[in-house]
Amino acid sequence: MRFASDIRCRILAGLLAGAAMHASAEKPAKTTPVPAPASAPAPTSQEREIQPPFSLMWHEPSERLELKIEAAKLSITDRRKLERQWIVTAGGFKKPNSTDASAPKPPELRRVLFHFDGGAVSKEKGANGKVREVLAGGQLVEVELQYQQDGWDEERYGTCLSEKRQMLDRLYGPGQQLVRSSTPTPDGKATQTIVGYKWNRNNTAVELIYFHVGVNDGEQAFHTLSLHYKRS
């Protein structure tokens, strides 16, 4: 009887040991949390490349850019050739509106001039069956944004010029002054003022230009503020 009792004890001990091993195997092992990879630091003003606006790319084909203009529900108002470059002018941008929170802030973006190296105007049939002109074979080398705002005087444009200059300084570092002059027109009836700054990065640049023509009797004035993104 004692022998049988010993056998039962050994069997019970074996079963308990097996159960303990099984429970240990099912228990999930502790894992050391893996730290998330550190995000790449934002480029500094000396490292940031100058890219064209509207998420475009340098040397973008003219055909593709004209399709983007149409997709944005803008209108091409002019195509003209100047020496080796073709210039496509687009208009119809949303106007500033103080009652619309989604509207752009003044000054108003009146037009954008896209400069292409090479290319030629050709005719093709659109999806609606109508024949239309398109600039084919050009590569984007410059984008010029022209701003104007009704009712603004020289002082208000000067404030806007200063704000945009500070923005570009933060993006690309201190710019260099290109020009600051105020001279009479050849006929002496008006005075023209031009102020310009430039930021360089490798073979790209952006220029900020303010141009003003004021008639000496004070009755008429022309202002424009422009940004020129260029690639050589």
Q: What is the pLDDT of residue 219?
A: 66
> Is the pLDDT at 5 greater than 80, yes or no?
no
- In whole angstroms, give the CA distance from residue 52 to residue 128: 31
Are 59 and 139 within 8 A, CB to CB?
yes
**Mean predicted confidence (pLDDT) in 78-86:** 95
* Residue type, position 5, single letter: S
pLDDT, tens digit (0-9, with 9 covering 90-100), for 110-123: 999 999 999 999 98
- The tokens describing 215, both together, are 């008639």
Domain ranges, ordered by start, for the chain: 49-150, 151-232
Task: State in Å, rounded, how far the first CA of the chain is from the last one.
Answer: 104
193-230: per-residue pLDDT in tens? 999 999 999 999 999 999 999 987 766 789 999 999 99
> What is the reported pTM?
0.78
The DSSP 8-state label assigned to residue 61 in this structure reads: B
Range with the poorest average pLDDT among 22-26, 56-60, 89-93, 133-137? 22-26
**Average pLDDT, integer, range 14-31:** 48
